[in-house]
Structure 1
Amino acid sequence: MSLTAVLGAQWGDEGKGKLVDILSAEVDICARFAGGNNAGHTIIAPIGPERVQTTFAFHLLPSGLVNTKVTGVIGPGVVVHVPSFFEEFDTLRKAGLDCSGRLFISDRAHLVFDFHQIVDGLKEVELGGSSIGTTKKGIGPAYSAKASRSGLRVHHLFDPTFAEKFRKIVEGRYKRYGHFEYDTEGEIERYKARSFERAPTAGLADRLRPFVIDSVVYIHEALATGKRILVEGANALMLDIDYGTYPYVTSSSTSVGGVCTGLGIPPRRIGKVIGVIKAYTTRVGGGPFPTEQLNGTGAHLQEVGHEYGTTTGRRRRCGWLDLVVMRHSCLINGYDALNLTKLDVLDDLEEIRVAVGYVVDGKELPGFPANLETLGKVEVSYVTLPGWKTSIAAVSSYDDFPENCRKYISFIEEYLKTPIEWIGVGPGRESMIKK
């Protein structure tokens, strides 16, 4: 099998980008299957002849593009805000990473327009105290339009009826939310395809045209010819529209099932599924968080772990590692291996607690509950493990980890019955230990 999937196993921000960066050195194609520019992957890589360490923030583009031999594919399950696509493309090029000729978008991918972003904010206001805490990137409204069969896809940009369809959709949003300020005709002109002979500048559709492909044919031809494909997840299992902490979730399928539907590939073509798990737990935005630590421990994890969102800059909520969440994640995604990240953030802790069960009314729950009212009442059962109280940042092999550090890793493996294959001890490529 020549397809490997890297998926977030918790609430996102686990550090998927670094593993994707490392694995991309061995693949031909890196593909995104869900989400949009609400994702955020930070990668530090050497660039140019002088190998200058450079930090790149990926949002919509596959982060495997940091390897200059890799081709990036944005699949049908992704929603694309074209201006943000080009802003990211241009920003990467200015930083020394040129993706020209090796980046493609599916003609079936749905489009995010500026009115989706306005509606995203209006929906949050409408929810009031129950605000989900979205990134306001228009992702939810775009997926809602897709599900209600009122969305526009990439191929519609090149359709003569694009303007007519666009006006009709905006009018529908006015009926739902009132007449918000929005330049419909200006947006149409911004996107509308033009011939280069009749206009001094090309519209967004014209600039996008060279990137657009039938990704189903492209991916399957790649598989048939033995090309190696790395699939990069956005967000994570606990933000999945079906299996996450609904409604405090994203609007797409972030699970291994989303790999199939978001790229148009059968399950049997998936060779390996890797789950990325942080050594503690974080989440951004609203929603339940049973192991959250609103105390000195939480503050320590925030500051030492530099827990601020790549996309939003928001401070992440922090807490102990939750193996109830991880067991739920493992059941659904069936990970073949795990990547444990940011283990070094725990270096200075005297003791480390790990959640191993949820108890309600004296009874342990069999799994992660669907009902958030139930989740809000759980008493978390913890196991306390000794810390290692020394820096592991310079460790280069598993055997060199302190004994208590190895015990922590083994405890996670044994509880989840899943091997930990990679261990992250810092932000750079060199700070990943292969076990």
Structure 2
Amino acid sequence: MANVVVVGAQWGDEGKGKIVDWLSERADVIARFQGGHNAGHTLVIDGEVFKLSLLPSGIVRKGKISVIGNGVVLDPWALVAEIEKLAKQGVEITPDNLMIAENAPLILPLHGELDRGREAQSSVAKIGTTGRGIGPAYEDKVGRRVIRVADLADEATLQTRVGRLLVHHDALRKGLGLPPVDVDKLMADLREIAPKVLPFAKPVWREMNTARKAGKRILFEGAQGSLLDVDFGTYPFVTSSTTISGSAASGTGMGPGSIDFVLGIVKAYTTRVGEGPFACELFDSVGEHLATVGREKGTVTGRSRRCGWFDAVLVRQTCALSGVNGIALTKMDVLDGLKELKICVAYELDGKILDYLPTAADQQARVTPIYETMEGWSESTAGARSWADLPGAAVKYVRRIEELIDCPVALLSTSPERDDTILVTDPFAD
């Protein structure tokens, strides 16, 4: 059976939630492999809206196994709150349909406090984080002092880990003008949350490999976008994990041979949330159209997304980095009514033409887009379910994108409804 990795091929917010939900109906296992509860997926199922931050999108589907892998940093309080919220919407979550990697790192309250304290420093350039502690938790993971899910089961280990952690954090907090961590309260909070989390803890690597050998279809669900990758994104305005497809295997304890198809989710224009370079950003009426018609607000933060024309340079680059086999092009209907469309086909920097985004931060901030103009369309593409339902100009726009990014369209999404999808290539085809 084919196993599929879904990654965002821009700065995130590409509509991964709908696509993952659409695919999850045919998958047996749906696994998150990186990120934290700064990720946001909005699902619309039979008219009901589900907003997820940490749980895999497959959790709303009966008969599916959802997995939070070791590559995810887990806020246990956010997890419990999300489980309780979904329960009110009729979604039952038990250890039978959700498993969490025993070696997944925990996000503690002190991580969020450190995150927000750093962003508040006027002398330091803001990165635009969500302030939820994701970055500091990954720092502690790499620094070998993080608390992991399995540690919650043993009081002696937990005390040792907390002691080591606070030696580091109290020094940082002093420099930021924050008080020392109340160790008694932290320990009490961890003891209280432990029995709510531990029933879901399993050796995910073993369960995932067993599922693969049994011929189960696995869907790996990425969070954030490829341009927020800590190595290949617009550093330092990035997230703290590896968001490209290669981390699907390491983030769940599987080998690279477990990946059969990589699906890149791509919006028909470009958006990003937070700080950082954005060569194609628009500040005119078109930008306002994209933001308004596209309802460009962050699922998790509610922050307005910055909007701009489609950047083929960036998407070609991210498709190469993740080995994308096909893209799912979303939100085509937002472009309805625009008389002309522009696509960024190259950059100009200091008199030179570039066909890629340079690594140096100052150069990323200074590149200017070179546009190709195409005819728009006045007809509606919303709800189209076949190529015949699309205006000719819309079809030309899609075909030109395929040429420029050197990658075919596998799916075309024409509304938030899961059935409003044109299937070209089935990622799960054997």
TM-score bucket (shorter structure): over 0.9
SS at match of 2:224: coil
1:133 correspondence with 2:122: no
1:172 correspondence with 2:171: no
The question of whether the paired residues in 2 share the 8 Å contact of 1:272 and 1:336 is answered with: yes
SS at match of 1:110: coil
Which sits farther off after the overlay, 260-269 or 379-388?
Answer: 260-269
The question of whether the paired residues in 1 share the 8 Å contact of 2:249 and 2:255 is answered with: yes
Which of 93, 111, 129 does residue 87 from structure 2 map onto? Answer: 93
Q: 2 CA distance for matches of 1:263 and 1:255?
A: 14
Aligned length: 419
The Cα offsets for residues 361-402 of structure 1, whole Å up to 9 and x where unpaired, read as 221124211012112221211000010112111322112210
Corresponding residue number in structure 2 for 1:4: 4
The Cα offsets for residues 45-78 of structure 1, whole Å up to 9 and x where unpaired, read as 13xxxxxx21001110001112112110000000
Q: Which amino acid is the alignment partner of residue 256 of structure 1?
A: S
The question of whether the paired residues in 1 share the 8 Å contact of 2:313 and 2:355 is answered with: no
The Cα offsets for residues 155-181 of structure 1, whole Å up to 9 and x where unpaired, read as 111122212421431242121221624
SS at match of 2:227: helix
Over aligned residue pairs, what C-alpha RMSD do you find? 1.3
Gaps of 5+ in 1: 47-52, 193-202
Corresponding residue number in structure 2 for 1:195: none
CA deviation after TM superposition for structure 1 residue 128, in Å: 4.2
Q: 2 CA distance for matches of 1:12 and 1:128?
A: 28
CA deviation after TM superposition for structure 1 residue 185, in Å: 1.3
Q: 2 CA distance for matches of 1:172 and 1:363?
A: 46
CA deviation after TM superposition for structure 1 residue 135, in Å: 0.5
The TM-score normalised by the length of structure 2 is: 0.95
1:420 correspondence with 2:415: no
Alignment of 1:387-398 (within 5 A): 387-398=376-387
Which sits farther off after the overlay, 340-349 or 180-189?
Answer: 180-189
Q: 2 CA distance for matches of 1:95 and 1:35?
A: 25
Q: 2 CA distance for matches of 1:127 and 1:65?
A: 41
The question of whether the paired residues in 2 share the 8 Å contact of 1:31 and 1:230 is answered with: yes
Which sits farther off after the overlay, 162-171 or 261-270?
Answer: 162-171
CA deviation after TM superposition for structure 1 residue 126, in Å: 3.1
SS at match of 2:216: coil
Corresponding residue number in structure 2 for 1:163: 159
1:297 correspondence with 2:286: yes
Corresponding residue number in structure 1 for 2:53: 59
The Cα offsets for residues 400-420 of structure 1, whole Å up to 9 and x where unpaired, read as 210000000000111122111
Which sits farther off after the overlay, 166-175 or 340-349?
Answer: 166-175
The Cα offsets for residues 262-286 of structure 1, whole Å up to 9 and x where unpaired, read as 1121112201000000000000000
Which of 330, 341, 351 does residue 352 from structure 1 map onto? Answer: 341
Corresponding residue number in structure 1 for 2:427: none
Q: Which amino acid is the alignment partner of residue 332 of structure 1?
A: L
CA deviation after TM superposition for structure 1 residue 349, in Å: 0.5
CA deviation after TM superposition for structure 1 residue 208, in Å: 1.3
- CA 30–57 in structure 1, closer or farther in 2 if over 3 Å, else same: same
Alignment of 1:308-323 (within 5 A): 308-323=297-312
Q: 1 CA distance for matches of 2:149 and 2:313?
A: 40
1:123 correspondence with 2:118: yes
Corresponding residue number in structure 1 for 2:428: none
SS at match of 1:384: strand
The Cα offsets for residues 83-110 of structure 1, whole Å up to 9 and x where unpaired, read as 0001001101101111222001000100
The Cα offsets for residues 224-267 of structure 1, whole Å up to 9 and x where unpaired, read as 11111000000011000000000000000001111122112111
Corresponding residue number in structure 2 for 1:281: 270
Q: 2 CA distance for matches of 1:414 and 1:142?
A: 40
CA deviation after TM superposition for structure 1 residue 433, in Å: 1.8
CA deviation after TM superposition for structure 1 residue 127, in Å: 6.4
Gaps of 5+ in 2: 425-430
Q: 1 CA distance for matches of 2:161 and 2:231?
A: 30
